[in-house]
Amino acid sequence: QVQLQESGPRLVKPSETLSLTCTVSGGSVSSTNFYWGWIRQPPGKGLEWIAYIYYSGSTNYNPSLKSRVTISVDTSKNQFSLRLTSVTAADTAVYYCARLRGYTNNWYIDSWGQGTLVTVSS
């Protein structure tokens, strides 16, 4: 059974860059049947999709965050990563890494990391 684990700083200063890594075990980021993505959830609010990536490097981003977000994959380490630049307090949230399963126009998240709370504060 695949497991995903987020890692990275829990506290980031305003205007700086948030960087998180997701380590995948029990499965491979090089699998052809999955996308790998990031979702966040501000305290007390709903889920917000950030980005996803395919092992080949193909990506897609939430348009509301696209100008500040980069997602990347490292198949040699079986990891994928998120960078969010110029953060503000509005970026304070629990960040989840996730695996998307599906085909054509039917994609859903079948595995989630435990989530990590990232706080933006000076």
Q: Binding residues for another protein, per CB under 8 A?
A: 37, 39, 46-49, 52, 60, 62-63, 96, 100, 102, 105-110, 112-115
User: d(Cα 21, Cα 90) in Å, to the nearest integer?
Assistant: 20
Smallest separation (angstroms) from another protein to the CB of 74: 22
24/100 with CB nearer another protein: 100
Query: By C-beta, is 37 or 91 nearer to another protein?
Result: 37
Q: Are 65 and 42 in contact (CB under 8 A)?
A: no
Q: How far is the CB of 76 from another protein (least distance, A)?
A: 27
**107 sits in which H/E element:** strand 106-112
Query: b/e for 37-76, b at 16 or more Cβ within 10 A?
Result: bbbbeeeeeeeebbbbbbbeeebebeeebeebbbbebeee
Closest-CA residue to 116 (of 3, 45, 21): 21
Q: Considering the complex, what minimum distance in angstroms separates the CB of residue 37 from another protein?
A: 7
* Complex with another protein: residue 29 or 100, whichever CB lies closer: 100
Q: How far is the CB of 21 from another protein (least distance, A)?
A: 17
In the complex with another protein, which residue's Cβ is closer, 50 or 87? Answer: 50
